[in-house]
Amino acid sequence: MLTDFFDLTGRIALVTGSSQGIGLAIARGLASAGATVVLNGRDQAKLDAAARQLTEEGLTVEAAAFDVTDHAGVETAISAIEARHGRLDILVNNAGIQRRGPFVDFPLDAFRDVQSTNVEGVFLVAQAAARGMIARRSGKIINICSVMSELGRANIVPYVTAKGAVRMMTKALCAELARHNIQVNGIGPGYIETELNTALMQDAAFSAWVEARTPAGRWGKVEELAGAAVFLASNASNFVNGHILYVDGGLTACV
């Protein structure tokens, strides 16, 4: 049956930065498709609350608190997941931060902070997860990119730089890992209604710009990213590799 291609029953998935927002929605989607999902974040209390929420929905999840920029911590966490479950089938690199400000005044430490979480964190977690995937000759890595992987905008130069890097890292990982039967793809969300975007959504002028710039005429909802994640995590995407799937209401399709 066609639905069997999207069935994730028995798969083990890790979603970084999944205590809220996009990460939590993707975790819910993967778990709803049958996967056992390991939630990740740095705030243990928020992480535990998210795990309780999904468990109460009847989904199979657990929590693993670690910082994606901590090399030793990442290695320990991935090893623990594989020791507990025997493998890690799916990795979603979602953890990320945003810092806004004019380019000429942007502090170097803040620029480095954005690159550390949004680029180095993706590199470290993918590297740790890929070793076991290579040994098993099976795996799915999904990197959360952005429409800013393709487009530029004022006052977010560090974020655009980072998301452009993640886009190209996705392609390079495909080039290196595809021969091991590992699919590495990305999801590029458009403007999505999340807790982190509350201030932007409440800015009437900016929100009107988003709605005018997006052909669908609205902000996206976090749950609208779940289907893309399930597709890229499932057997339905076994010959899809190095691709960035934009879930943006058409924003990147037009000028």
Query: Please, how many CA atoms are within 13 Å of residue 234, restricted to the half-sphere of its CB?
Result: 22
Q: Which of 159, 219, 231, 246 is catalytic?
A: 159
Query: What counts of helices (H) and strands (E) characterise the chain?
Result: 9, 9
Q: Name the 3-class secondary structure at 117.
A: helix
In whole angstroms, give the CA distance from residue 67 to residue 77: 10
In whole angstroms, give the CA distance from residue 122 to residue 111: 16
Positive or negative, the CA dihedral 71, 76, 79, 84 is negative
Query: Please, how many CA atoms are within 13 Å of residue 180, restricted to the half-sphere of its CB?
Result: 19
In whole angstroms, give the CA distance from residue 5 to residue 33: 11
Is 191 catalytic? The answer is no
Residues involved in catalysis: 159
